[in-house]
A and B are shown apart, each in its own frame.
Chain A
Amino acid sequence: MLDLVVKENKSLNNQYFILILTAVDKLPEMLPGQFAEVRVDDSPTTFLRRPISINFVDYEKNELWLLVQIVGDGTQKLSQLKTGDSVNLIFPLGNTFTIPENKKANLLLIGGGVGIAPMLFLGSYLNDLGYSCNFLLGGRTASNLLQLDDFSRFGNVYTTTEDGSHGEKGFVTQHSILNKQNFDAIYTCGPTPMMKAVAAYAQKNNVFCEVSLENTMACGFGACLCCVTDTTDGHLCVCTEGPVFNITKLKW
């Protein structure tokens, strides 16, 4: 548990913002897929912390980025944080993605909506390790596609929108790249129907695939057993056994 300081609160549009946090001391090492439980202060209707995926880490600048979608009172309150404000976080929590040994592996990272958040961190992490990445990002409309400039620093970026306002028209699973290339591993995070469609594609084509799940949580560290998902090993906590799961383990 640590009090971090808001270095910048960057509004992307009326729905999304990025909290760039820093600390006096060196930030702990974090892995892609991991998340933070963020305490929301001074919001009478927000009782529990909010689990928020780690979006990006810059160890040199001692920065931790959280990409947040305004959903309810808690995230609304967080959107009002100003430079210099203090935020209490429990982090890093959860597991990480499985990285293939072969550095030449053709990797596809698929993100939808706010689910792109861990994909940026994963992309930058893979990039640092010498892998090349392909990002496939989807949204309802162009304004839902976020951080495209950041993504393009770490690999090829492909997009889809349901209204055709950016990239190919349709869902991520309808993008032409899926027919043109063979992938060795797919990593995905986004709305459940999207992740299920990606998982179905991966299964059909026999591609290794991991998904990062989202769930409502009370604690975030395995004590409350509220955030379980059904797996081949029974009910497992998304917070400690996940949030990253291999699709072959999930019963969904």
Chain B
Amino acid sequence: MVDLKVNLGTIQLKNPVMTASGTFGYGTEYADFMDVSRIGGIVVKGTTLRDRQGNAYPRMAETPSGMLNAVGLQNKGVDYFVNHIYPEIKDVNTSIFVNVSGSTIEDYIETAAKINELDKIPGIELNISCPNVKEGGMAFGTSCPSAAQVVKAVRKVYSKELMVKLSPNVTSISEIAKAVEAEGADSVSLINTLLGMAIDADKRKPILSTVTGGLSGPAVKPVALCMVWQVAKSVKIPVVGMGGIMNARDAIEFLLAGASAVQIGTANFIDPTVSVKVLEGIETYLLQHNFSSVNEIIGALEI
């Protein structure tokens, strides 16, 4: 039997496979396809203080080995989550994180404080990296002082696992990681999507309503892997790696690069059962290579 448990700052996950925010709904969308309690964690859809209709459509463009999205944090707001969604999902036997986003620091504080009251939510993923909203979001995550400021403010009201989701659209992601670590982040997750765009040459118009969007899928994997490796060397807190993971092999690469856990995102759209397959594949790999614990391969890259 292989030990799959991993430590993520203040909490322990039963295994290192999580699903990424915005790609897994609230988990309930996947209940027809798989047993969601098998995976180590679910990060639910980005939640904001108030209801957001998100961006106009078109919101999606397929790209070679990936996709651009410009959803823009469509959600019904934190109160709706607390009153209607939380009761539905709280008894699922996995670690459920709420991705928290905002336009102002006060938004982040108020939303995080409300989530802090929920017993069955062991952590939040502070989203300071969404490229698809006009104010807030990525604006907070692209400079060290503003990233530090929002984490510091949220830390005061949020007592559980505070994971901070980082943007790759920066000069040095390691510097941002260090800045949020210094303000009390328990872990960091990366990468959010890369800023990108798509053009319809016939119409001479952008494909997305917002002109630019966030690129995800296997196209971004080498970038993500490199950033996870850089950040893991720069901070002491655990790193959660994501970006284009399609199978167990991809996930193992992130673990070797220094990630304590991984998040599966875009791949869920193509194979809604992929997260379970990744989990099984990691277990098989560990057995084949005679490891007794997944922790033995975290950061085990030989250079």
Contacts and interface: CB of A to CB of B under 8 A. Distances in A.
| Interface residues of A, dominant DSSP | loop
A211 interface: no
B25 A49 contact: no
A220 B269 CA distance: 8
A229 B66 contact: no
Contact of B66 (A47, A220, A235): A47
A224 B22 contact: yes
Interface in B39-91: 45, 53-54, 56-67, 69, 71, 74
A224 B269 contact: yes
Contacts of B60: 216-218, 224, 226-227
Contacts of A216: 58, 60-62
A1 interface: yes
Given A218-B67, A223-B29, A224-B22, A1 B273 contact: yes
A70 interface: no
Interface string A1-45: 100000000000000000000000000000000000001000011
B184 interface: no
Interface string B24-37: 11000110110000
Contacts of A44: 64-65
A215 interface: yes
Given A219-B268, A226-B60, 5 more contacts: A44-B64, A47-B64, A48-B62, A216-B60, A218-B269
Interface string A141-163: 00000000000000000000000
B303 interface: no
Contacts of A226: 57, 59-60, 69, 71
Interface in B255-272: 266, 268-272
A201 interface: no
A44 B270 CA distance: 14
B233 to A, nearest CB: 31
13 contacts: A1-B33, A1-B273, A47-B62, A48-B270, A49-B270, A217-B60, A223-B24, A223-B29, A224-B71, A225-B45, A225-B71, A226-B59, A228-B54
A224 B24 CA distance: 7
B143 interface: no
B146 interface: no
Contacts of B67: 47-48, 218
Most chain-B Cβ atoms within 10 A of its Cβ — which of A47, A90, A221?
Answer: A47
A222 interface: yes
A45 B23 contact: no
A235 B76 CA distance: 11
B126 to A, nearest CB: 21
Interface of B: 22-25, 29-30, 32-33, 45, 53-54, 56-67, 69, 71, 74, 217-218, 266, 268-273
Contacts of A227: 57, 59-60
A90 B274 CA distance: 14
Among all A-B residue pairs, the 7 with the closest Cβ atoms: A226-B60, A219-B269, A223-B25, A218-B269, A223-B29, A226-B59, A225-B71
Nearest to B71: A225
Contacts of A234: 53
A86 B271 CA distance: 16
A224 to B, nearest CB: 6
Contacts of A219: 268-269, 272
B198 to A, nearest CB: 11
Contacts of A1: 33, 271-273
Interface residues of A, number: 27
A242 to B, nearest CB: 13
A247 B301 CA distance: 58
Interface of A: 1, 39, 44-49, 90, 215-230, 234-235
Given A1-B33, A223-B24, A224-B23, A235 B74 contact: yes
Given A47-B63, A234-B53, A225 B74 contact: yes
B294 to A, nearest CB: 27
A2 to B, nearest CB: 11
Contacts of B22: 224-225
B143 to A, nearest CB: 28
Given A219-B269, A223-B24, A47 B217 contact: yes
A189 B74 CA distance: 27
A45 B65 CA distance: 7
B209 to A, nearest CB: 11
B57 A215 contact: yes
B285 to A, nearest CB: 24
A89 to B, nearest CB: 12
Contacts of B74: 225, 228, 235
Most chain-B Cβ atoms within 10 A of its Cβ — which of A1, A45, A46, A48?
Answer: A48
A227 B59 CA distance: 7
Contacts of A229: 57
Nearest to B51: A234
Nearest to A229: B57
B168 to A, nearest CB: 19
B30 A223 contact: yes
